[in-house]
Amino acid sequence: MNITYLRENNSFKLDTDNTSYVIGIVDKEGFIGHAYYGARIPNEDVAYLMRINENPLVPSLNERDRSSFLDTFPTEFSGNNVGDYRESSIKIRDKNGASGIQLLYRAYRIIKGKPKIKGLPETFSDEANAMTLEIYVEDANLGIEGTLSYSVFNNSDAITRSIRIKNVSDDTIYLDKIMSMCLDMDDDNYRMLVLHGSWARERHIEYRKIGYGKQSVSSIRGESSHQEHPFIALVGENTTQAYGDVYGFNFVYSGNFIGQVEKNQFNSLRVVMGIHPENFAFKLVPGDEFYAPEVVMVYTNQGLGHMTRTYHDLYRNHLMRSSFLRKSRPVLINNWEATYFDFDNEKLLDIAKTAKECGIEMLVMDDGWFGNRNDDNSSLGDWWVNETKIKGGLKKLVDDVNEIGLKFGIWFEPEMISPDSRLYRQHPDWAIAIPGRIPCRSRNQYVLDITRKEVRDYVYNCLATILKSANIDYVKWDMNRQLTDISSARLEADRQGELMHRYVLALYEMQERLIAEFPNLLLENCSGGGARFDPGMLYYSPQIWCSDNTDAIERLSIQEGTALIYPLSTMGAHVSVCPNHTVGRVTPFETRGNVALAGTFGYELDVTKLSKEEKEAIPKQIATYKKFNKLIREGDYYRLASYRENNYYDCYQVVSKDKSEALITFVQVLSQPNMHSIKIKLQGLDDNKIYKISGSEESHYGETLKNAGLLIERLNGDFQSKLIHLTEQ
């Protein structure tokens, strides 16, 4: 990694192991141009790439065509209402109600390490392993200053970007829009890869053609959402897993976002990513600063797989802070699909006893243990244990579970309030609602206005009191509805547009407090399944519940899309019963276990009701989990085949960092008649090592397995699966 200022041509060059990013300062006014992002190049003048010597030339040479210049110039951060008609990166309202803004270059600083982004999750590093370029910018007419920050990391092809804005004028200014990044580049026939979905169908990979005009992914739901994901990749025409160009952009934020690609009249692309401007307006009184969240960019010409592994490594080394990141997580059993709301301490202890016999290590008590909650119509906010269900109280239950030999985990939904709750009867104004309008219910609940300190203190203290009252090792932090009726009883009229962002900041503050006060707690985030699975949340919790869909076959696409960016060790994945509760499908117990192995691994079923064979299978599955968890958690992930593409089978591989072993997971979805074995070309092995292949007498060079491939025999029946372990001889 390196960052250089090239004085002769007033440009900055950021280098990662395999990529370069060049920013050029142009013309007397100091337009901040984007010259290059791609495979690594030498230190030389590449300002010509900005086409500033072509018509319409720069404004100092041709002021009459200033707008033509601004409307084509590749910029690092587009202004608004001053001549560039492509997407703006920032929009303000000044004291006259005008919106013109253009941030121009003033100075720079190159430093070791990476300064903190106040209040927000972010990649971090010590001074030895990262460098940061700060470009100081200004709109002198408005009295607005800004800092564009870029960081590079040792042994990584990722570059992070963010921006900070300060009002240094004497007047109040409203920030109506702020993107965290803007990147202009030529279109080389890229396709746009996005992750779209729905409840129980999260993060399915979709390719889109990039047409003229704007195409985007976004959420205005108050969370990153089931529906779209804060991620875009531009993928070359012929790019595969192993070859070709990919530009990835991932937003480290858990609220409203937009990621947009715009193809303009000259076939160039503008990519922007940031907080969604809808319902957003932040008031900046003189002296106020606004920190925009970070975007993680990855370029590679080595295919999607290299992009994936770059994100995985960056997030494991520079984003996730939990001490559990590098530990095997306890194999848990969660009672949600086992009992839903219908349980008591006796039922839980029955589950715990049988679970213990099977080798399971932790019982998680899900929704329904508090207030008067026997279905999803009441009690959110009433965080005291329901003693008619949990007779003798929570401590007694936890002690009993511990006595059986299991750890204990508990579910909360801290951000919510049920209209039918004691909390709502006492504090109806704590729910987010527009004055005079009955707020929109979803799952019969409202969202708490956690932007109010007294509200988040109340909820946090409820949580902390429960956690201190018994020996609790794990918390599942759920969020089961999206935001509407955006208005806070505490914000002034001209600050209502701050609520959505303040909500996310408040959530982060609560989670920071929780992990600081309970450093040994294993925290799993969740949102009605996987609606808040994003890098922001991974800063606080090492794992996130991936989806409410626990069907092994449905999980193939969900986990493929999720693992495109996020390490396998972050994906909450459990074995559940069949017929599956979401899709009614019946799959072999073995396949359910093999698919859940790619995540955190656990069970979500009533173990007391399993057949003898299934119960006997659990200790074997747990032994497999223990055997392979370090490899899966810390190894390099390679996607070898996708059921989404071939309609036949799915296959992925994890290779240890030292390339001494690898695990291949093969799932044959629908059996086909009269077919040969399947040839799969392996990736990531050491060419010169000889690998022994489990389940056979064969051994082959890594180079042979890469170029010639491995034959996997056809399995008999639908939904069959197989693990193949390769070990260095």
**Active site amino acids:** 478, 548
State which residue, 375 or 454, has the beta carbon closest to ligand DGJ. 375
Stretch that binds ligand DGJ, among 19-27, 250-258, 285-293, 523-531 (CB under 6 A): 523-531
Query: φ and ψ at 447, to 5 degrees?
Result: -100, 135
Distance, in Å, from the CA atom of 541 to the CA atom of 522, rounded to the nearest integer, reads 8
Distance, in Å, from the CA atom of 554 to the CA atom of 723, rounded to the nearest integer, reads 19
Q: Which of 529, 542, 593, 599 is the binder for ligand DGJ (CB under 6 A)? A: 529
Placement of tokens 């791609």 in the chain: 38
State which residue, 322 or 550, has the beta carbon closest to ligand DGJ. 550
Q: CA 293, 298, 299, 304: dihedral to nearest 10 degrees?
A: -130
478 sits near ligand DGJ (criterion: CB under 6 A): yes
Placement of tokens 């009252």 in the chain: 469
330 sits near ligand DGJ (criterion: CB under 6 A): no
Stretch that binds ligand DGJ, among 386-394, 498-506, 526-534, 709-717 (CB under 6 A): 526-534
State which residue, 299 or 336, has the beta carbon closest to ligand DGJ. 336
333 sits near ligand DGJ (criterion: CB under 6 A): no
Amino acid at 710: L
528 sits near ligand DGJ (criterion: CB under 6 A): yes
State which residue, 130 or 200, has the beta carbon closest to ligand DGJ. 200
For the chain, percent helix, then strand, then coil, each to nearest 5? 25, 30, 45
State which residue, 528 or 599, has the beta carbon closest to ligand DGJ. 528
CB of residue 367 vs ligand DGJ: minimum separation in angstroms? 3
In this structure, are strands 104-112 and 191-196 parallel, antiparallel, or unpaired? unpaired
Residue at shortest CB range from ligand DGJ: 367
Binding mask 479-498 for ligand DGJ (x = CB under 6 A): -x------------------
Q: Which of 411, 430, 458, 691 is the binder for ligand DGJ (CB under 6 A)? A: 411
Burial category of 549 from C-beta neighbours within 10 Å (exposed 0-12, middle 13-18, buried 19 and up): buried
Among the listed residues 156, 78, 159, 161, the one whose alpha carbon sits nearest the alpha carbon of residue 117: 161
Binding mask 224-263 for ligand DGJ (x = CB under 6 A): ----------------------------------------
CB of residue 476 vs ligand DGJ: minimum separation in angstroms? 6
Residue 581 token pair: 């509760």
Distance, in Å, from the CA atom of 181 to the CA atom of 172, rounded to the nearest integer, reads 24
Among the listed residues 222, 254, 274, the one whose alpha carbon sits nearest the alpha carbon of residue 87: 274
State which residue, 336 or 424, has the beta carbon closest to ligand DGJ. 336
Stretch that binds ligand DGJ, among 34-42, 418-426, 522-530, 641-649 (CB under 6 A): 522-530
CB of residue 524 vs ligand DGJ: minimum separation in angstroms? 10
Distance, in Å, from the CA atom of 295 to the CA atom of 231, rounded to the nearest integer, reads 9
Stretch that binds ligand DGJ, among 95-103, 524-532, 593-601, 664-672 (CB under 6 A): 524-532
**Contact (CB, 8 A) for 642 and 687:** no
548 sits near ligand DGJ (criterion: CB under 6 A): yes
383 sits near ligand DGJ (criterion: CB under 6 A): no
Q: Which residues of 102-119 are buried (b: 16+ CB within 10 A; e: fewer)?
A: bbbbeebeeeeebbebeb
Binding site for ligand DGJ (CB under 6 A): 336, 366-367, 411, 478, 480, 526, 528-529, 545, 548
